[in-house]
Structure 1
Amino acid sequence: MSNLIVHGGAPLAGRIVPSANKNAILPILCATLLTAEPVRLRGITEITDVKKILEVFRSLGSSVEVDFQTGILDVHHKSTHFDPASDRLPEEMRSSIMLVPGLMARFGAARIEDDVKGCTLGAREIDPHVEVFERFGAVVERQSDGLLLNVPGRLRANDHWTDYASVTTTENFVLCAALAEGTSTLMNAASEPHVQEFCAFMQMLGAKLEGLGTSRLKISGVEKLGGGDFTFAEDFHEIVTFLALGAITGGDVQVKNSQPEQFPLIDRTFAKFGVRIEHKDGWSRAITTGALKVKEPFTRNILQKVEAAPWPYLPVDLLPIFVALGVKAEGSVMFWNKIYDGAMGWTSELSKFGAHAFLSDPHRMVTFGGKPLHAAEVESPYIIRVAIALLMVAASIPGRSVIRHAAPIRRAHPHFVENICSLGARIEWVEGD
Structure 2
Amino acid sequence: MDSILVRGGKPLSGQIPIAGAKNACLALMPATLLSDEPLTLTNAPRLSDIKTMSTLLQSLGAEVSSLQGGKVIAMSSHSLNGDRADYDIVRKMRASNLVLGPLLARLGEAVVSLPGGCAIGARPMDIHIDALTALGAEIELKDGYLHAKTSGGLKGGRVALRFASVGATENTLMVATLAKGTTVIENAAREPEIVDLAECLTKMGARIEGAGESRIEIEGVDSLHGATHSVVTDRIELGTFMLAPVIAGGEVECLGGRLGLVSAFAEKLAEAGVEITETAAGLKVRRNGEIPRAVDVVTEVYPGFPTDLQAQMMAMLCTARGTSVLEERIFENRFMHAPELVRMGADIEVHGGTATVRGVDRLRGAPVMATDLRASVSLILAGLAAEGETRVNRVYHLDRGYEFIEQKLGAVGADIERVREE
Q: Does 1:385 align with 2:356?
A: no
Q: Which one-letter code corresponds to 1:310 in the other structure?
A: V
Whole-Å separation in 2 of the counterparts to 1:337 and 1:430: 33
Distance in 2, matches of 1:280 and 1:184, equals 40
Cα distance 1:84–1:327, how it changes in 2: closer, same or farther (>3 A)? closer
Describe the shift of the 1:33–1:249 C-alpha distance in structure 2 as closer, same or farther (beyond 3 A). Answer: same
Q: 1:378 to 1:68 in 2, by over 3 A?
A: farther
The match for 1:77 is 77
Deviation at 1:331, TM superposition (A): 1.1
Partner of 1:366: 356
What residue in structure 2 maps to residue 212 of structure 1? 211
Q: How many residues align?
A: 422
Q: Residue type matched to 1:256 in 2?
A: L
Contact 2:6 2:390 in 1 (8 A): yes
Comparing 45-54 and 176-185, the one that deviates more: 45-54
- 1:301 corresponding residue in structure 2: none
By how many angstroms is 1:102 displaced?
1.4
Q: Distance in 2 between matches of 1:19 and 1:71?
A: 9
Secondary structure in structure 1 of the residue aligned to 2:296 = strand
- Separation in structure 2 between the aligned mates of residue 84 and residue 216 of structure 1, nearest angstrom: 31
Superposition pairs of residues 211-230 of structure 1, within 5 angstroms: 211-230=210-229
Q: Distance in 2 between matches of 1:86 and 1:248?
A: 42
The 3 A distance-change label for structure 1 pair 139 and 233 is: closer
Q: Which amino acid aligns with 2:40?
A: R
Alignment-mate amino acid for residue 358 of structure 1 = E
Alignment of 1:413-424 (within 5 A): 413-424=402-413
Secondary structure of the equivalent of 2:398? helix
Q: What SS does the aligned partner of 1:389 have? A: helix
> Any idea what the Cα deviations from partners look like across 1:329-375, whole Å, max 9, x if unmatched?
121111111111010233221111111011122x1111101333211
**What amino acid sits opposite 1:26 in the alignment?**
L
Letter matched to residue 38 of structure 2 = P
For residue 46 of structure 1, report the CA deviation from its aligned partner: 2.3
Q: C-alpha separation between the residues in 2 aligned to 1:188 and 1:181?
A: 22
Aligned to 1:329: 320
How far off is 1:72 after superposition?
Answer: 1.4
2:261 and 2:203 map into 1 onto residues whose CA distance is 22
The answer to whether residue 335 in structure 2 is matched with residue 344 in structure 1 is yes
Distance 2:160 2:175 in 1: 15
Aligned partner of 1:188 in structure 2 is 187
Q: Secondary structure at the match of 1:176?
A: helix
**In the TM superposition, what is the alpha-carbon distance from 1:6 to its structure 2 partner?**
1.2
Residue 77 of structure 2 aligns to which amino acid in structure 1?
A: H
Q: How well do the aligned residues superpose, as a CA RMSD in angstroms?
A: 1.9
Q: Tell me the distance in 1 between the aligned counterparts of 2:292 and 2:143.
A: 55
Tell me if 1:313 matches 2:312.
no
Aligned counterparts of 1:224 and 1:3: Cα–Cα separation in 2: 47
Contact 1:354-1:371 within 8 A present in 2 as well: no
Partner of 1:62: 62
Distance of aligned partners of 1:376 and 1:68 in 2 relative to their CA distance in 1, 3 Å threshold: farther
Alpha-carbon shift at residue 83 of structure 1 (Å): 4.5
1:39 equivalenced with 2:39 (yes/no): yes
* Structure 2, unaligned runs of 5 or more: none
8 Å Cα contact 1:89-1:112 kept in structure 2: no
The C-alpha deviation readout for 1:116-163, integer Å capped at 9, x for no partner, is: 122111111111111122222222233224221122242111101111
Q: SS at 1:69's partner residue? A: helix
Q: 8 Å contact 2:35–2:224 — kept in the other structure? A: yes
Name the residue aligned to 1:170: 169
What residue identity is the alignment partner of 1:328?
Answer: T
Aligned counterparts, 1:288-299, within 5 A: 288-294=287-293
Distance between the aligned counterparts of 1:373 and 1:330, measured in 2?
14
Deviation, 1:92, is: 2.8
Opposite residue 423 of structure 1, the aligned amino acid is: V
Report if aligned partners of 1:30, 1:102 keep a CA contact under 8 Å in 2.
yes
State the alpha-carbon separation in 1 of the partners of residues 32 and 320 from structure 2.
45
Q: How much does 1:85 deviate?
A: 10
Q: Which moved more, 1:62-71 or 1:91-100?
A: 62-71
- State whether residues 293 and 331 of structure 1, in contact with CA within 8 Å, keep that contact through their aligned partners in structure 2: no
Contact 2:258 2:278 in 1 (8 A): no
Give the Å deviation of 1:227.
1.0
Distance 1:261 1:3, change over 3 A: same
Q: SS at 2:330's partner residue? A: coil
Matched, 1:407 2:406: no
